[in-house]
C-alpha cells in the first residue's frame, strides 16, 4: 500500500498495490485450494444431481403442506437448492424461531439481501431452506414433516 515512509512524508505504491492493505489471506487461499480439490473428487455433476434430488423431494413435500406458499419454480431442474416460502398465518421469523427451538432445524428468515423483491412478496420477509451436498434425503423429509407439524401446532 505504501511505497515509502519518511519522517514527514509518505508515498503511495502504484496500482493495484496501492489498495492492498495488510497481508494477503494466504491461509484462505490454501483453504480454497483444498475445497476445490475436495469438490473435484466428488464431481460437480454428482453434487448437482444430489442437490436436485433433495430439492425435488423438498418441493414435492412442501407443496402438500396446507398454508405454505412457495416462491420458486416448482421444477427441481429449474431451481437450485434453495426454497423460499412463507406460511399464511405465521411470520417467517416466528416460523424460523419455532423450528429452531423445538426441532433444532435452522432456516433463514428475512429479506435475504433482496428486499425490493422479497418485500413485494411479503412485507415481513420470507423463510428460506437451503440444501446441499452435506444434506441427506432423510434430513429433507425430517424438515418437511417437522415444518408441517409445527404449522399444525401453531396455527
Asked if 141 contacts 61 with a C-beta cutoff of 8 angstroms, the reply is yes
C-alpha cell read off for 14 = 502504484
| Residues with active-site annotation | 113
Identify which of 81, 66, 69 has the alpha carbon closest to the alpha carbon of residue 150.
66
Nearest to 54 by CA among 135, 147, 148: 135
Query: Could you tell me how far CA 99 lies from the centroid of its own chain?
Result: 16
Amino acid at each position: 500500500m505504501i511505497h515509502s515512509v519518511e519522517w514527514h512524508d509518505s508515498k503511495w505504491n502504484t496500482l493495484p498495490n496501492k489498495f492492498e492493505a495488510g497481508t494477503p489471506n494466504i491461509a484462505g487461499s490454501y483453504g480454497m485450494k483444498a475445497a476445490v480439490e475436495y469438490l473435484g473428487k466428488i464431481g460437480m455433476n454428482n453434487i448437482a444431481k444430489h442437490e436436485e434430488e433433495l430439492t425435488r423431494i423438498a418441493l414435492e413435500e412442501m407443496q402438500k403442506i396446507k398454508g405454505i406458499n412457495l416462491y420458486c419454480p416448482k421444477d427441481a431442474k429449474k431451481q437450485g437448492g434453495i426454497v423460499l416460502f412463507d406460511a399464511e398465518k405465521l411470520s417467517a421469523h416466528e416460523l424460523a424461531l419455532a423450528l429452531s427451538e423445538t426441532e433444532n432445524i435452522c432456516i433463514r428468515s428475512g429479506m435475504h439481501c433482496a428486499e425490493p423483491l422479497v418485500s413485494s412478496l411479503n412485507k415481513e420477509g420470507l423463510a428460506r431452506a437451503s440444501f446441499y451436498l452435506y444434506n441427506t434425503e432423510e434430513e429433507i423429509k425430517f424438515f418437511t414433516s417437522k415444518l408441517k407439524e409445527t404449522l399444525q401446532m401453531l396455527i
